[in-house]
Structure 1
Amino acid sequence: MKGSISRTMVKPDRRKRTNRNSVEAASNSYRLGYERGYEQGIEKGKAAFGQPYHGTSIVIPSYNQVEYLIRCIESIESHTPEPHEIIVVDNGSTDGTGAYLDQRSGQLRFKRLDINRGFSGGVNQGLMMAKGDTIVILNNDTLVTPGWLGHMLQCLQSDAQVGAVGPVTNYISGEQQIDVPYANVEQMWEYAATRSKPDQKEWRPTDRLVGFCILFRRTLLERIGYFDEGFRIGNYEDDDWIIRARLCGLKLMIAGDAFIHHFGSVSMKTLGTEQFHEVDGYNERYFAGKWGNSHAWVEAVRQQGAGRWHEATSGNPASPAEFFPSHVLIRDQGGREFFLYHGAKHPCSGFGLAERTGLQSVTLSRMDILHIPTAENALRGEELLNFVLSMEKESADGQLVSDADGTVYQMSQGSIRPFVSDYALERWQMKGRSILKLPAEQLQLLPRGLPIIAPPVLENPVL
């Protein structure tokens, strides 16, 4: 009897141990599988980071006015069959914008900033997040209509020399505004339906596109860089960015068959008249001080036959350093330093080149520095230091010169390159360098190189 009892007591214990072992084995297998999957996901994410997908990133900077933002996004979702992603940058809104974005998590991408970084700061954050091989910057106080993106894409892709495209609208400054017959939004949709067919006859070149809606290739962003965050809140930063595109010799086009309704500067109107004029006046002065006569510089470059554009498919996009000076120390916002010499960079982090030469470094975006080629046989350490010191003693290359009218140039491999403004000279930390005055007739004998422009001011530390 005892034996039978003993046998019945042992069997359950064996089953428990067997079940426990099975559970532990399954748990270990799950954990190992999860870890392998997680590691593989990380590796795939790293490999895919920065690689564009074949679609359009629609970047919407937004500050308060959530009701306009909601209507804008709804119009995109209703009238954009082309592959796209929506990226909203909330510029420190204090209304219901944050709650709305949380509700739409997973359906669109967004970033909430702690403070209002203005139009430039918001756009730049969105540009950094964008993965599409084409990008649209779009105001939050707009309604897109049928055919808007498809027609603009056709215009952009019609010619590799087209750098950026904008639509027509009911409310904007400049050539993109057209007369419309409607008096309210309901009537607008009826009007928009009559314009929904593509029509190349409605395309026309222009010298200016307004930033309420601009379409461009990712390669243009890589070529001319981010928006300048030295502008306050809004206005003129889009003009500044467009001038840089024009210096590349690119065409700007208005796609007259793409119509967008624009409620009109909703965020700027909340400033009030006095603050609006203060901001607008500051930005106008900043733009003028940065460029001088910007259109004259564009025309000078055009006449030189410069502004060579390399399509992304060529595998050799033009360097942003094409309009940067030589003989300067640059750094990214992570602190890595490089010596910029005739369009190529020599890495010099950790060597103390600034302290040992007296050069002051200029901060550029990581994207700009990435697209500046590293010099063949790049010099490092003492070799680079000796090279920098010897240039000052043995060669006029890199020397600043000026004539009687005060224009400052940099000697560059047998030519002279003008700084577009005193601000550009100051922005490159070259204001304190010695400037050799030369007779005007001597300067006239030297060929002119590309002008030197100021790099954009960047406040966001992750660009």
Structure 2
Amino acid sequence: MNQISSHKRNGYNDGYKKGFNSGYKDGYSRGRLMGITQFTNVFEGTSIIVPTYNQLNYLKECIESILHYTDAPYELIIIDNASDDGTAEFLQSSQGLRFQINEENLGFAGAVNQGLMMARGTTLMILNNDSVVTTNWLSNLLGCLQSDSRFGIVGPVTNYISGDQLIHVSYQDIAEMQQFSKSYNQSNEHSWTVTERLTGFCMLFRRDDFNRLGFFDEGFEIGNCEDDDYGLRARLLGMQLVIAKDTFIHHYGSVSMKTLNSKFEQVYANNLTFYSSKWGDPHDMLSLKWQHNLNSGKKLRTIDLYPTCVIVRGANSKTYWVENGIRYPIQGASGIQPVRVSQVDLRCWPLGDSISAEDAIGRMKAVYFSSDSWEQEGRLIKLKNGSVYQYKEKRLHRFMNRLAVAAWHLDSYEPLLVNDDEVQKYEEEVPIISPPVIKADNI
């Protein structure tokens, strides 16, 4: 009798799992299609995106604090990076939140990008799973962000972080922390401080600015440095990073990264190497005259820091020739490897008429192999100091470094060597940077 009951129970459990998995896949497929068709439908509120990997108890505490202390309109999006501690089951049984359960760990940047793709809010919040939010936290941050169009990304102060967002606290437990924050979180515009760096444990920005800025760079392993990369890109577009020192939230600190144990140092070293090779000395670029021109009111987009006369693709295999700020669909196979850009970046280029693959190849040869004057759209030149520039829209744009040249598949073309005195009439313009690495098929 017990054996029969056991067989029934096992059969029931097996049937339940198969039914759930089938329903989940079907629901996800339909939900993804709905998300694509309703991509532009937003709501007046904040999408709070929480990437998570294991540490279920911290995640539960984070969610509970959001539910209890958030009085501004919001939606909650949890991205699980293949946790094996019951996080998936918890999310599947929860109400009132949206979630994505990954089959592998995509890292912080990959998870954040999934959340950004799913988000519907007019403002977007990235929040670590080991954070505990507090009274007035979101309304204070929103007040800061919305007070000045120059403010691009806003973050609070906390008890555990590197940099200027760290403050000294004396509370002993979470109950005392909430009492402390209740008196601390009093909105005060005189406490808003422009900074050169914001950490990614809590970052708030506008959807409109995300559409200019794009996704996080998935070239960083697991976690660390991708927030510095994102903040630097924001600054290159003229956005200001701001610490709202009138807003405190608790941060346990690096609980997911600490689980890497001995691997942490290697991951961090790899990410530092990737960051350094990508940017070199970015402060040099930030100090040039072109930055001052941003005060004229022009809002740069990331694609303004991309080259012209290149072949790109988005989430699918469709390729485009980009020239003079227009993307032209290519009919047929050009045989040239396209550069992968995100859908957000791709949509920033207006769509032109289709061209044949032969036409695209012809245009590329005319640009990069012509012996005519270097003052033609897309031409690459090099100065004696080794700096490589592109002539774009009748201006000279310097590649951030050789990696940026290679990232756009332009390193196989030999730039024309030009004397310094030939370019004296041109002022330094916005640089050309590497596009963020995008690994997902649908971003």
TM-score range, shorter chain: 0.7 to 0.9
Shift of 1:133: 0.5
2:74 counterpart of 1:84: yes
TM-score, normalised to structure 1's length?
0.83
State the one-letter code of the partner of 1:115: E
Q: Taking structure 1 as reference, are residues 440 and 150 closer, same or farther at Cα in structure 2, changes over 3 Å only? A: same
User: 1:169 matched to which residue of 2?
Assistant: 158
Q: What is the distance in 1 between the residues matched to 2:342 and 2:36?
A: 20
Structure 2 residue aligned with 1:9 = none
Q: Check the 8 A contact 2:135/2:178 in 1, yes or no.
A: no
Q: Whose radius of gyration is greater, 1 or 2? A: 1
User: Is 1:426 paired with 2:401?
Assistant: no
Structure 1 CA distance, aligned partners of 2:33 and 2:173? Answer: 52
Matches within 5 A, 1:37-56: 48-56=38-46
- Aligned AA for 1:295? H
Report the CA distance between 1:186 and its aligned residue: 2.5
Q: Residue 27 of structure 2 corresponds to which residue in structure 1?
A: none
- Unpaired runs of 5+ residues, structure 1, are 1-40, 311-316
Aligned to 2:180, the other structure's residue is in SS state helix
- The CA deviation at 1:197 is 2.3
Q: Which amino acid aligns with 1:373?
A: P
What is the aligned-residue identity percentage? 39
Partners of 1:437 and 1:292 in 2: how far apart?
23
- The residue that corresponds to 2:268 in the other structure is 280
The letter of the residue matching 2:424 is Q
Q: Is the 8 Å Cα contact of residues 321 and 328 (structure 2) preserved in structure 1?
A: yes
Matches of 1:301 and 1:57, distance apart in 2: 36
Q: Secondary structure at the match of 2:114?
A: helix
- Quick one: distance in 1 between partners of 2:412 and 2:362? 22
Which of residues 206, 209, 213 in structure 1 aligns to 2:195? 206
Letter in 2 for 1:417: H
Matches of residues 54-133 of structure 1 in structure 2 within 5 Å? 54-104=44-94, 106-133=95-122
Distance 2:49 2:297 in 1: 25
Q: TM-score, normalised by structure 2?
A: 0.87
The number of residue pairs the alignment matches comes to 408
Q: 1:122 to 1:308 in 2, by over 3 A?
A: farther
Tell me which amino acid in the other structure corresponds to 1:432: S
Aligned-pair distance for 1:158?
A: 0.3
Shift of 1:81: 1.2
Aligned-pair distance for 1:412? 2.1
Q: Is the 8 A contact 1:249 1:302 kept in 2?
A: no
CA deviation string 1:280-314 (max 9, x = no partner): 1111111010011112212226545148766xxxx
Q: Comparing 44-53 with 333-342, which one deviates more in the overlay?
A: 44-53
For 2:424, the equivalent position in structure 1 comes to: 444
Secondary structure of 1:255's match?
strand
Distance 2:297 2:128 in 1: 28
Are residues 1:322 and 2:304 paired? Answer: yes
1:207 Cα deviation after fit: 1.3
SS at match of 1:194: helix
Pick the aligned partner of 1:151 from 126, 135, 140.
140
- Measured in 2, the distance between the counterparts of 1:115 and 1:45 equals 22
Deviations 1:130-150 (CA, angstroms, capped at 9, x unpaired):
000000000000000000000
Task: Read off the aligned partner of 1:281 and give its amino acid letter.
Answer: A
Q: Is the 8 A contact 1:309 1:318 kept in 2?
A: no
Equivalent residue for 1:3? none
Query: Does the 8 A contact of 2:288 with 2:428 survive in 1?
Result: no
In the aligned structure 1, how far is the partner of 2:414 from the partner of 2:45? 50
Structure 1 residue corresponding to 2:345, chosen from 368, 379, 389: 368
* Inter-partner Cα distance in structure 2 for 1:142 and 1:302: 38
Partner SS, residue 100 of structure 1: helix
**1:218-272 Cα distance to aligned partner (Å, 9 max, x none):** 1111111100000001111001011111011111111111111000111111111
In the other structure, the counterpart of 1:298 is 286
Which of 455, 459, 462 aligns to 2:435? It is 455
Q: Structure 1 residue 413: deviation in Å?
A: 3.8
Secondary structure of 1:101's match?
Answer: helix
State the distance in 1 between where 2:78 and 2:239 align: 28
Cα distance in 2 for partners of 1:295, 1:345 equals 31
1:445 to partner: Cα distance: 3.8
Per the alignment, do residues 433 and 83 of structure 1 end up closer, same or farther by CA in structure 2, a change over 3 Å counting? same
On the 8 A contact 1:91/1:115 being kept in 2, the answer is: yes
2: CA distance between counterparts of 1:448 and 1:415?
8
With over 3 angstroms needed to count, the CA separation of the structure-2 counterparts of 1:302 and 1:165, relative to structure 1, is: farther
Structure 2 counterpart of 1:322, which letter?
D
- Structure 1 equivalent of residue 355 of structure 2: 380
53-62 vs 246-255, which moves further? 246-255
Separation of aligned partners in 1, 2:273 and 2:289:
24
CA deviation profile, 1:168-207 (whole Å, cap 9, x unmatched): 1011011111111212222212211211322222211111
In 2 relative to 1, CA 57–293 (structure 1 residues): closer, same or farther, beyond 3 Å? same
- Per-residue deviation, 1:402: 1.3
The residue that corresponds to 2:318 in the other structure is 336
| 1:18 counterpart residue number | none
1:423 to partner: Cα distance: 1.1
What is the CA–CA distance in structure 2 between the aligned matches of 1:261 and 1:42, rounded to whole Å? 34
The code of the aligned residue for 1:102 comes to Q
